[in-house]
Amino acid sequence: MRAVVLGGSGFVGSHLVDQMLERGDEVVVVDSYLTGRRQNLAHNHGRRGFRLVEHDICQPIPVVGQFDAVFNLASPASPIDYARFPLETLDVGSLGTRNALILARAAGATFVQASTSEVYGDPLVHPQREDYFGNVNTVGPRSCYDEAKRFSEALITTYARVYGTRVQLARIFNTYGPRMRVDDGRVVPAFVTQALRGEDFTVFGDGSQTRSFCYVDDLVRGLLLLCEKGDGMPVNLGNPVELTLREFAEAVRQVVGKGGAVRSVRPLPENDPRQRRPVIERALTLLGWAPRVPLEEGLLPTVAYFRAELGL
């Protein structure tokens, strides 16, 4: 297929681009490099079917032509990134998504949105199904991201109703793998680099909060299936194996082979979800998708990547 990947130089975007090029697709990447990195796609320069446009999608997108798909992965995504760029995050979720939809409509493309489990906020219903409306503090520190993504979902589904554009919404749960930034503040880079350096694991709160970690290759396979087979309504993409943060630290210690004590270093950040696990029934029945890569396996290339990044 021919596709445009907005935010294609980021963590998830760059893996999507690689999988598409690998299977022979043509890909145009658009990225502003606000949080994406040139080095994530450097290996594709000059490769057939690959083109890169440096551009902020909050401005009209200068890509013309017919495409089969527009994937919108453009947004800061880690809590410290969106805290650092709160207005940019709101803009890309609103103005940026609008421009992305205009591009998809003009190109006759299917629009695929990287939405998020953050639309469920600090969920009062557990595990989370797509029909749960969520529990988000509209004025809290995470609202710039959560509400931007919620607004995006409203905009995209409305746009589809008004113009008949084909759209798909992936609600992405915690994802990990090579190319996460060492300093992005998320728990996977934090714990893996701490273990590699033999430092203590810095747990926020008492470490009883839970997350469910999906390896990036599984997620990307899900995004491609969703583009092809989705029904236009949100689909959770995540790994339903749920761990407390303390259990996750132990899993990292096992794979790295070292690591310090699990230490609570600060209270749980405001509105930090206390539990999170996807129900993936819809992904399974609609797309035939379920994660294949267990945590111990996915952590191996992840740890190798961070080891190289740290020069260890």
End-to-end CA distance of the chain: 40
For the chain, give the number of residues: 312
Shorter beta-carbon distance to ligand UDP: residue 141 or 185: 185
Shorter beta-carbon distance to ligand UDP: residue 103 or 190: 190
Strand partners, 167: 111
The encoded tokens of residue 260 equal 């310090």
Residue 9 φ/ψ region, left for φ over 0, alpha for ψ in the -120 to 50 degree band, beta for the rest? alpha
> Nearest Cα to 73, choosing from 117, 9, 144, 130?
9
Which residues sit at the interface with ligand UDP, rule CB under 6 A?
Answer: 78-79, 174, 185-187, 190, 202-204, 209, 211, 245, 269, 272
Q: Assess contact for 201 and 247: CB atoms under 8 A.
A: no
Q: How far is the CB of 9 from ligand UDP (least distance, A)?
A: 20
Which of the residues 145, 159, 176, 215 is marked catalytic? 145
> Nearest Cα to 188, choosing from 272, 267, 256?
256
Q: How far is the CB of 166 from ligand UDP (least distance, A)?
A: 29
Residue holding tokens 């299977």? Answer: 23
Q: Assess contact for 264 and 203: CB atoms under 8 A.
A: yes
Per the annotation, the verdict on 145 as an active-site residue is: yes
Q: Radius of gyration (Cα) for the chain, nearest Å? A: 19
Q: How far is the CB of 175 from ligand UDP (least distance, A)?
A: 10
Shorter beta-carbon distance to ligand UDP: residue 89 or 174: 174
Q: How far is the CB of 16 from ligand UDP (least distance, A)?
A: 20
By 3-state DSSP, what share of the chain in percent is helix, strand and coil, each rounded to 5?
A: 40, 20, 40
Q: How far is the CB of 36 from ligand UDP (least distance, A)?
A: 18
Shorter beta-carbon distance to ligand UDP: residue 203 or 303: 203
Residue holding tokens 């943060």? Answer: 245
| Distance in angstroms (rounded) separating the CA atoms of residues 273 and 199 | 25
Strands 262-266 and 201-204: parallel
Q: How far is the CB of 226 from ligand UDP (least distance, A)?
A: 21
| Burial class of residue 35 (count of CB atoms within 10 Å of its CB; 0-12, 13-18, 19+) | buried
The encoded tokens of residue 202 equal 């810095």
Q: Return the active site residues.
A: 145
